[in-house]
């Protein structure tokens, strides 16, 4: 008996406290319909980020059976530009969604049963993971890492967590989503439908206009780092197209890679190997081979892209020097003493592609040291981290 009374008292007090706390949070724009509309936009943004993110991940860590397109040459500019721009656009969308559903944080009772507890727990996971995913992605573009976990691995893992928790959240909310998926209109004859009051609709529109303005502003003022068409309004992106030595931004400098001495060594040679056959070429000998000129972008994993004019020897020609057959892939190695990107692999389609070069010149001049002097790899449809700089060796795989 006493336990029953205690439970009823706690229930009543809890409900009263929850109502008191929720009162100042009432706002006509906060409604299930708003949550559905903003949720749809945010969910779409997250799915776009996930798909483009997976493409970027597997380009760098392919499963053995994967093959990637070599066309269009700026494919990675498109996918990674969309990835980073959509991630930035998620900032106002995520904040708007969380603001809309905030009163649900204080719902009473906090846990109605096991299923409800699991559902609320997963919502917590979704909110936390989404906030951290967007924040770490943004800070990565600023090259600021105020944490002790590895960015790449964690960003990838959290992406799965966000998408998984999102799918379950949509499942849990599906009846509400279905009910509010279309705008309801007032009945003729003066009855207003049970869906939205006029005040709700007006301020919901106000909220959507404001969020739309936020998304437009943040995209217009940063996407110029990835897409040429918006380069003139690029006020706030961490990179500027065309800003840097030889008109190209730099990610890893020669000093950071600790290759200065090895790269400026006059005795440097590029060794090309196929099985037992090997050839060592000096820079002059490379320059004496038939040269090809290509216009290809450096498209960074951080989202920025700049196009550049390269000149050098086709990798296919180098492989032919050591009698490598046309179906073989290649691995290039850098002078960098350590680091995850000191080698990169080229599948056969890329290795023998007419636009894949060992570049010696950039924009008509010899490569700048920070851009990979004496030679770097440049290929179409590849992320910047795989366009290996300061080459020393090309071997067949």
Partner 1 sequence: MTAPSTPPPRVLRTVRLLLVAAGAVGLGVGAVKLTALHPSQLRSLAVWLVAGVVLHDGVLVPLVTVALAGGGLVLRRLAGPGIRGHRWRAPRGTGPLVTSCLVVGGVLTLVVLPELHARSLGAANPTVVPGDYGRRLVLTWAVLAGVAVAGTVALSLRDRVRRRREPPAAREAP
Residues 228 to 247 in contact with partner 1, rule: CB under 8 A = 235-236, 238-240, 243-244
Q: Which of residues 9-28 bind partner 1 (CB under 8 A)?
A: 24-25, 27
> Which residue in 22, 161, 287, 321 binds partner 1 (CB under 8 A)?
161
Residue 363 touches partner 1, criterion: CB under 8 A: no
Query: Are the beta carbons of 79 and 51 closer than 8 angstroms?
Result: no
Q: Give the number of residues in contact with partner 1, rule: CB under 8 A.
A: 86
Min dist CB 308 to partner 1, Å, is 13
> Which residue in 37, 45, 211, 377 binds partner 1 (CB under 8 A)?
211
- Cis upstream peptide for 328 (omega within 30°): no
Distance CA 296, CA 71 (A): 12
Contacting range for partner 1; rule: CB under 8 A; set: 75-83, 144-152, 330-338, 386-394: 144-152
Min dist CB 365 to partner 1, Å, is 17
Which phi and psi angles does 396 have, rounded to 5°? -80, 155
Q: Which of residues 61-90 bind partner 1 (CB under 8 A)?
A: 88
In terms of Cα–Cα distance, which of 265, 271, 263 is closest to 372? 263
Min dist CB 216 to partner 1, Å, is 8
- Nearest residue (CB) to partner 1, 227 versus 268: 227
Residue 53 touches partner 1, criterion: CB under 8 A: no
> Which residue in 167, 199, 280, 288 binds partner 1 (CB under 8 A)?
167
Starting at the earlier edge strand, list the strands of the sheet with 330-334.
277-282, 269-274, 391-396, 330-334, 343-346
Residue 277 touches partner 1, criterion: CB under 8 A: no
DSSP letters spanning 133-192 = HHHHHHHHHTT---SSS-HHHHHHHHHHHHHHHHHHHHHHHHHHHHHTSSPPPPPTTSPP
CA atoms within 13 A on the CB side of 152: 10
230: tokens are 């918006």
45: enclosing H helix or E strand: helix 32-60
Residue 320 touches partner 1, criterion: CB under 8 A: no
Residue 205 touches partner 1, criterion: CB under 8 A: yes
Residue 47 touches partner 1, criterion: CB under 8 A: no
- Nearest residue (CB) to partner 1, 91 versus 349: 91
């Amino acid at each position: 008996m006493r336990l029953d009374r205690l439970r009823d008292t706690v229930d009543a007090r809890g409900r009263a406290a929850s109502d008191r706390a929720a009162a100042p949070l009432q706002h006509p724009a906060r409604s299930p319909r708003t949550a559905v509309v903003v949720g749809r936009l945010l969910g779409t943004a997250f799915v776009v980020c996930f798909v483009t993110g997976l493409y970027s991940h597997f380009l760098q860590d392919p499963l053995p059976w994967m093959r990637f397109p070599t066309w269009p040459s700026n494919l990675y500019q498109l996918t990674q530009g969309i990835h980073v721009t959509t991630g930035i656009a998620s900032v106002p969308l995520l904040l708007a969604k969380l603001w809309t559903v905030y009163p649900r944080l204080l719902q009473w009772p906090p846990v109605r049963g096991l299923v409800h507890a699991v559902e609320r727990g997963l919502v917590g996971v979704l909110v936390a993971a989404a906030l951290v995913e967007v924040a770490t992605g943004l800070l990565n573009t600023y090259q600021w890492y105020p944490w002790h976990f590895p960015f790449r691995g964690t960003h990838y893992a959290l992406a799965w967590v966000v998408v998984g928790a999102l799918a379950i959240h949509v499942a849990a909310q599906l009846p509400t989503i279905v009910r509010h998926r279309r705008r309801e209109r007032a009945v003729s004859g003066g009855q207003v439908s049970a869906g939205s009051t006029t005040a709700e609709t007006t301020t919901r529109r106000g909220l959507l206009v404001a969020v739309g303005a936020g998304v437009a502003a943040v995209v217009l003022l940063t996407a110029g780092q990835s897409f040429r068409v918006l380069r003139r309004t690029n006020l706030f992106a961490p990179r500027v197209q065309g800003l840097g030595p030889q008109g190209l931004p730099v990610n890893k400098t020669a000093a950071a890679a600790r290759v200065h001495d090895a790269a400026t060594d006059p005795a440097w040679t590029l060794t090309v190997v196929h099985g037992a056959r090997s050839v060592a070429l000096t820079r002059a000998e490379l320059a004496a081979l038939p040269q090809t000129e290509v216009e290809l972008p450096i498209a960074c994993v951080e989202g920025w892209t700049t196009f550049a004019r390269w000149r050098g020897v086709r990798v296919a020609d180098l492989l032919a020097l050591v009698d490598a057959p046309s179906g073989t892939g290649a691995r290039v190695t850098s002078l960098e003493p350590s680091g995850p990107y000191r080698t990169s692999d080229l599948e056969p389609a890329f290795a023998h592609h007419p636009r894949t070069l060992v570049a010696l010149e950039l924009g008509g001049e010899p490569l700048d040291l920070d851009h990979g002097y004496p030679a770097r790899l440049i290929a179409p449809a590849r992320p910047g981290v795989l366009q290996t700089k300061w080459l020393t060796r090309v071997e067949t795989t």
